[in-house]
Amino acid sequence: MNGVRLFTILYCATLAVAVALRHADQSRYLKLRGELDVPARVLGRWPVPRLTAGQFHVAGASFLTATTLACVGIHPRAALCLAIALYFVYFGQILGVSYVHRKSNLVPVILFVLAVAPGTDEGMARRSPPWPLLIVQAALAQSYLTSGFCKIREMGVRWAPGAQMQGILLFHHLYYDLKASVWLAERIWLCRVLSVLALTFELTFWTVLLVPEYGWVFLLAGLTFHLGTLGLMRIDYLTYQGPAFLVFLVGPIGRALSGHWIK
C-alpha cells in the first residue's frame, strides 16, 4: 500500500479545507491590520512581498488549487512545490493571526517531504518506503519536545506543581472570559494534574517513533491536548498543525481500504 500517496491525499485535502474555511477571517485580519504588519522573511532573510487584498485572495486561491491538485494526483510534485512557495507568500502576510503564528510552521516542512518522497506520484497499490512518514512524525514530535524542553529550561520542575498552569488559565480568562478556565484555576490539584499531563505529553511524544503501532494513542492524546487548549485558552493548533496528525491514520485507513478499491 502506498502510504505516502494516501497521506498526501489526506493531508492536502484537509489543509485545503482549512484554508477555504479560514480565508475570509484571514482576509479580514489583513484588511484591518493594513500597513501595521510587516510581512515575514523566508528563513529570516528574504522578505515576502506585501500583498494587496486582491492579491491575497489570488494567493489563497492559488494555494488552495495547488493543494487540491496534489490531492487528486495531477502533477503532484509540481503542485506541492508550488504550494510551498505560495505558503510563504500567503501565510507570510498574516503571521499576527493567533492560529497561524508558529501553528503553521510544519506546513512547508511536510509539503517538502511529500514533494521529494518516493510514491507521491504513484498509484495506491505501489508500496512506498516508510521514511517519509517517519520524518513527518519526527517533525511533529520535535515541535512538542521543543515546547516541553522550553518549559523545563525556564522553570525546571517548578512548572509541574500547578501554579504556572493556574496563572495561564487566569490569564486567558481575562482575555476571553472563560468560565471553565476560572473553575479549573480555583482547583490547584487539577492544575497540578494538567501540568503533569501536559509535560508528559510533550516530553514523551517522540516515543511514537519507537512504537509506531501505538500511533493511534498519540493521535488521541494530541487531539485531546489541543481541544483542551482551544477550549480553555483559545489556543488553536488544530487548524494548521492538526492535519499533520493524519499521519497516524495512514496505517489503519490503508488496512481498511486494502482489498476494496486498492488493487
Give the model confidence (pLDDT) of 221-236 as tens digits.
999 999 999 999 999 9
Number of domains composing the chain:
2
- Rank 43-57, 66-80, 146-160, 246-260 by mean pLDDT and report only the highest: 66-80
Block residue for cell numbers 481500504: 257
Q: Specify the pTM.
A: 0.91
Answer yes or no: do 22 and 61 share one domain: yes
Domain extent at residue 145: 130-263
For range 189-193, the mean pLDDT: 91
How far is the C-alpha of 175 from the C-alpha of 170, rounded, in Å? 9
Answer yes or no: do 122 and 186 share one domain: no
For range 83-93, the mean pLDDT: 95
Which of 94, 126, 158 is where one domain is finished?
126
How far is the C-alpha of 127 from the C-alpha of 37, rounded, in Å? 46
Answer yes or no: do 44 and 139 share one domain: no
Answer yes or no: do 258 and 149 share one domain: yes
Per-residue pLDDT reduced to its tens digit, 156-169: 777 778 888 999 99
Answer yes or no: do 62 and 178 share one domain: no
- Cβ atoms of 119 and 70 closer than 8 Å: no
> Which range has the worst mean pLDDT, 29-38, 69-78, 126-135, 159-168?
29-38
Amino acid letter, residue 210:
L
Answer yes or no: do 67 and 120 share one domain: yes
pLDDT of residue 206: 93
**Whole-number Cα distances in Å, 210 to 158, 160, 205, 222, 250:** 29, 26, 10, 17, 17
Query: Would you tell me how many other CB atoms lie within 10 Å of the CB of residue 37?
Result: 17
For range 227-247, the mean pLDDT: 95
How far is the C-alpha of 151 from the C-alpha of 128, rounded, in Å? 38
In the chain, % of residues over pLDDT 90: 67
